[in-house]
């Protein structure tokens, strides 16, 4: 059995929207990548995680509904409804499934090293499945990186925040 852990990144609890539209674009891209991987595996469970700050439906539950809407059988989905950050997602995964599971972590390319480090620190070797690349180098890609520009400053802010979180979590 392969476990595919889709890390949370945000959602809306707007019940007038389809579950896929309730997910922010980051979370939706992570889920799509998890489903792409799951379709290549004979035995899998998609693990969704994330709580809610305001009560009601959790991010893990909305991601599960979206996965079902995209064709994943509900018996192939597990939810972790309490985590509010990456470290808590790793802890919840271990508490529910133990340390002897094979797994894949789906997250943003920039965020994935920290997620994998947290799993390794907990004694589990997981494979990474990166998505949501900030920089693409195709012949028609323009990444907006000129100085000074809002895109460049925003990208640098995102990068620095992730690096600081990595060092904080590695202690």
CA dihedral over 170, 91, 1, 107, signed as positive or negative? negative
Question: Using an 8 Å Cβ cutoff, are 22 and 62 in contact?
Answer: yes
pLDDT of residue 77: 98
Question: Which of helix, strand or coil describes residue 113?
Answer: helix
What is the band of 106 on the pLDDT scale with cuts at 50, 70, 90? very high
More confident residue, 144 or 87: 87
User: What tens digit of pLDDT does each residue of 3-49 get?
Assistant: 999 999 999 999 999 999 999 999 999 999 999 999 999 999 999 99
Angle at 5 between CA 127 and CA 136, to 5 degrees: 65
For β-strands 44-49 and 77-80, DSSP reports them as parallel
Is the pLDDT assigned to residue 116 strictly greater than 90? yes
What average pLDDT score do residues 157-170 get? 90
Is the pLDDT assigned to residue 104 strictly greater than 90? yes
Residue appearing with tokens 């939706």 = 28
Is the pLDDT assigned to residue 97 strictly greater than 80? yes
User: What tens digit of pLDDT does each residue of 121-159 get?
Assistant: 999 999 999 999 877 677 766 656 566 677 777 888 888
pLDDT of residue 2: 95
Phi then psi for residue 130, to 5 deg, are: -75, 150
**DSSP code of residue 71:** T
This prediction has a pTM of 0.89
Q: Residue 127 corresponds to which tokens in the numbers above?
A: 């494979």
């Amino acid at each position: 059995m392969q476990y595919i852990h889709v890390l949370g990144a945000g959602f809306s609890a707007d019940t007038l929207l389809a579950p896929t539209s309730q997910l922010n674009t980051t979370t939706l891209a992570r889920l799509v990548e998890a489903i792409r991987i799951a379709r290549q595996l004979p035995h899998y469970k998609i693990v969704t995680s994330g709580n809610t700050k305001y009560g009601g439906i959790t991010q893990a539950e909305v991601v599960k509904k979206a996965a079902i809407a995209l064709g994943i059988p509900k018996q192939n989905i597990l939810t972790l409804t309490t985590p509010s950050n990456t470290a808590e997602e790793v802890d919840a995964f271990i508490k529910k499934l133990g340390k002897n599971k094979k797994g894949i972590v789906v997250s943003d390319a920039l965020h994935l090293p920290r997620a994998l480090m947290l799993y390794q620190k907990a004694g589990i070797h997981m494979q990474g499945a990166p998505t949501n690349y900030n920089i693409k180098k195709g012949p028609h890609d323009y990444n907006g990186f000129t100085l000074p520009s809002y895109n460049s400053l925003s990208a640098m802010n995102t990068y620095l925040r992730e690096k600081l979180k990595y060092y904080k979590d590695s202690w």
